[in-house]
């Protein structure tokens, strides 16, 4: 999956697969996680958010099933 680099103190890059609604986030700590069944609007809103980390904690963390890629 291709991820877009983002300006964030916690998040390095974000990608989205429209075929299966998987959001992939690479954190600055190095971890890469896939979040499943995420609506595309969550991805696009995250990209536009002034704070990607705050958006992640409020709208993604704990709301979607996930797995660690690396």
Question: pLDDT by residue (tens digit) across 44-65?
Answer: 999 999 999 999 999 999 999 9
Identify the domain containing residue 55 by its residue range: 4-68
Task: Enter the tokens of residue 1.
Answer: 């999956």
Domain count, the chain: 1
Q: What is the pLDDT of residues 10-34, one digit of tens each?
A: 999 999 999 999 999 999 999 999 9
The pLDDT value given to residue 1 = 87
Residue (of 17, 12, 4, 46) closest to 31 by Cα position: 12
Q: 44-59 burial string, b = 16+ CB within 10 Å, else e?
A: eebeebeebbebbeee
Residues 5-12, mean pLDDT to the nearest whole number: 97
């Amino acid at each position: 999956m291709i991820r877009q680099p983002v300006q964030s103190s916690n998040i390095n890059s974000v990608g989205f697969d429209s075929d299966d609604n998987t959001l992939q986030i690479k954190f600055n700590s190095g971890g890469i996680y896939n979040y499943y069944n995420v609506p595309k609007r969550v991805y696009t809103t995250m990209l536009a958010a002034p704070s990607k980390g705050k958006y992640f904690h409020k709208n993604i963390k704990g709301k979607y099933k996930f797995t660690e890629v690396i």
